[in-house]
């Protein structure tokens, strides 16, 4: 039977990415690519569509196949609607009622209550049946509400835990200060990762202002952003696990997504993901490609080789008990990634590549372009040849990483040294002009 909710977000992550973000797979097409049935694809697409508004979904046709994709203008819609897909998380009816009645009972007593008092109070009110919910379950819920949710406080008196409603941390703020805090959260929710936490914080503040302070008509659409990518939000559950491992200095195992035609799936479908996992890795740093909106994990193996993992290719992460000292890898990281523009390490090379660029500008009106290029290339060395003509030398692990950046300065920048890079850019332009019929 179809259920609106799921327990694990990674169930819908791949389908959300392939069908809605890339928009290049139909239901049947995805079935042939991934190791999933068409019925499962249909179910997950229905779940996604319940949380992504129709105005963001566009339908195209490819013959008899229907292709869904997401369309949005971040200058008009500054809210990341993909955050809503995390609301597919399932809770049972008993879970929700238990949380609600525990809060209701403690609030009604207006004093700290121990576990036995809470159980007796819920049972007497007809809100609890020990045939369906055990004492251990109530104790576990109380622990979650203290440690995970932060909505209860717990004090221990003679080995007995007493629970009370957590103090109002916003009580000292007046309404004007609350509005200012709400506005600040509205700014940073799109630019400080993980952004999902920022959106949840904003919604919590909004509810607090409405229900606790009677503040109505709250609008937080004051900001527009350039180069804000919405799609990294769907990787943030994986990102969060990796960040926890980095901060607690624990090694990790990474499990990768497998295409349907993978040899591992053919050999042993039930154990393919386990076979594809990495060995224990030292997670060192998360790198974010601002231009493409892509997360990378930089980690090191036991033999100190540098391993780069794209987060959108990771199925899940297991945090291991084994720990490491992060400072032991500072020098190695600097050597491998010092000249990386995105995610390519120096691995296998004795030194980085040198690329020489020529920049032609109008000195009077376009001087800012030189400043912009230098800001974006911290290792660049500038030589002024004459007014309006400059040479910039850049060291980079892989010159191919410069291609998207150079394209952004089309008409201003020419590659002088690195024939391979110059040929690649030339062929890319030629292919595009041929596609549009500009050249024959």
pLDDT tens, residue by residue, 322-367: 999 999 999 999 999 999 999 999 987 779 999 999 999 999 999 9
Query: In the prediction, which pLDDT does 1 show?
Result: 41
Query: In the prediction, which pLDDT does 117 show?
Result: 94
Q: Which letter, b or e, does each residue of 198-221 get, where b requires 16 or more Cβ atoms within 10 Å of its Cβ?
A: bbeebeebbeebeeeeeeeeeebe
What is the rounded (10 degree) CA torsion for 248, 251, 257, 258? -170
Of the two residues 258 and 338, the one the predictor is more confident about is 338
Looking at residue 44, what DSSP letter applies?
Answer: H
pLDDT tens digits, one per residue of 46-88: 888 888 888 888 888 877 777 778 887 777 778 898 998 888 8
Query: In the prediction, which pLDDT does 348 show?
Result: 77
DSSP-H helix ranges across 249-398:
263-267, 272-276, 330-337, 367-376
**pLDDT band per the 50, 70, 90 thresholds, residue 379:** confident
Q: Is the pLDDT of residue 288 over 90?
A: yes
**pLDDT band per the 50, 70, 90 thresholds, residue 37:** confident
Q: Is the pLDDT of residue 269 over 90?
A: no
Q: Which CATH architecture has domain 93-165?
A: Orthogonal Bundle (1.10)
**Residues 193, 169: Cα–Cα separation, whole Å:** 23
C-alpha closest to that of 113 among 160, 73, 163:
163
Cα–chain-centroid distance for residue 270?
28
Ordered by start, the domain boundaries in the chain are: 9-79, 93-165, 232-258+274-337, 353-436
Q: Which CATH class is domain 232-258+274-337?
A: mainly beta
**Residues 321, 88: Cα–Cα separation, whole Å:** 30
Query: In the prediction, which pLDDT does 54 show?
Result: 83
Most distant CA pair in the chain, distance: 89
Is residue 276 within 8 A of residue 253, CB to CB? The reply is no
Average the pLDDT over 148-172 and give the result: 93
**Residues 216, 210: Cα–Cα separation, whole Å:** 6
DSSP-H helix ranges across 295-418:
330-337, 367-376, 403-407
Of the candidate CATH numbers 3.30.70, 2.30.110, 2.60.40, 3.40.1620, the domain formed by 353-436 belongs to 3.30.70
Query: In the prediction, which pLDDT does 240 show?
Result: 94
Cα–chain-centroid distance for residue 101?
34
DSSP codes, 173-198: S-HHHHHHHHHHHHHHTTTSSSHHHH
As given in the structure block, the two tokens for residue 54 are: 């129709």
pLDDT tens digits, one per residue of 183-202: 999 999 998 888 999 999 99
Q: Which CATH class is domain 9-79?
A: mainly alpha
Average the pLDDT over 232-236 and give the result: 92
C-alpha closest to that of 415 among 361, 406, 366:
406
Topology match between the domains 9-79 and 93-165? yes
How many other C-beta atoms are found inside a 10 Å radius of the C-beta of residue 328? 11
Q: Is the pLDDT of residue 261 over 60?
A: no
């Amino acid at each position: 039977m179809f259920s609106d909710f799921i327990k694990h977000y990674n169930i819908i992550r791949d389908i959300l990415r392939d069908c809605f973000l890339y928009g290049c797979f139909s239901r049947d097409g995805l079935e042939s690519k991934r190791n999933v049935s068409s019925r499962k694809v249909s179910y997950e697409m229905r779940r996604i569509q319940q949380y992504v508004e129709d105005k963001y979904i566009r339908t195209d046709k490819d013959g008899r196949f229907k292709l869904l994709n997401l369309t949005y203008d971040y200058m008009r819609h500054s809210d990341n609607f993909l955050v809503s897909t995390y609301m597919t998380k399932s809770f049972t009816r008993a879970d929700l009622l238990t949380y609600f009645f525990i809060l209701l009972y403690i609030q009604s007593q207006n004093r700290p209550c121990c576990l036995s008092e809470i159980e007796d109070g819920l049972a007497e009110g007809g809100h609890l049946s020990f045939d369906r919910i055990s004492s251990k379950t109530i104790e576990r819920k109380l622990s979650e509400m203290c440690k995970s949710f932060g909505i209860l406080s717990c004090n221990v008196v003679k080995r007995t835990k007493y629970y009370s409603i957590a103090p109002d941390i916003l009580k000292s703020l007046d309404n004007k200060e609350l509005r200012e805090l709400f506005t600040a959260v509205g700014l940073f929710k799109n630019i400080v990762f993980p952004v999902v936490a920022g959106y949840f914080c904003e919604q919590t503040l909004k509810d607090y202002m409405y229900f606790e302070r009677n503040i109505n008509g709250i609008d937080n659409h004051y900001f527009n952003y350039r180069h804000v990518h919405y799609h990294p939000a769907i990787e943030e559950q994986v990102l969060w696990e990796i960040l926890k491992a980095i901060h607690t200095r624990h090694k990790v195992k990474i499990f990768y997504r497998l295409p349907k035609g993978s040899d591992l799936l053919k050999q042993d479908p039930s154990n393919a993901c386990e076979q594809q996992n990495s060995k224990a890795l030292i997670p060192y740093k998360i790198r974010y490609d601002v231009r493409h909106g892509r997360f990378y994990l930089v980690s090191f193996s036991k033999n100190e080789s540098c391993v780069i993992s794209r987060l959108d290719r990771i199925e899940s992460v297991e945090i291991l008990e084994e720990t490491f000292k992060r400072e032991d890898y500072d020098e190695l990281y600097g050597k491998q990634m010092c000249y990386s523009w995105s995610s390519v390490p120096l691995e296998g090379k004795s030194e980085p590549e040198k690329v020489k660029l020529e920049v032609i500008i109008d000195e009077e009106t376009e001087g800012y372009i030189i400043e912009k290029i230098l800001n974006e290339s911290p290792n660049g060395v500038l030589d002024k040849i004459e007014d309006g003509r400059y040479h910039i030398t850049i060291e980079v692990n892989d010159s191919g990483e410069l291609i998207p950046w150079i394209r952004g300065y089309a008409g201003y920048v020419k590659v002088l040294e690195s024939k391979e890079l110059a040929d690649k850019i030339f062929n890319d332009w030629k292919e595009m002009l041929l596609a549009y019929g500009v050249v024959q």
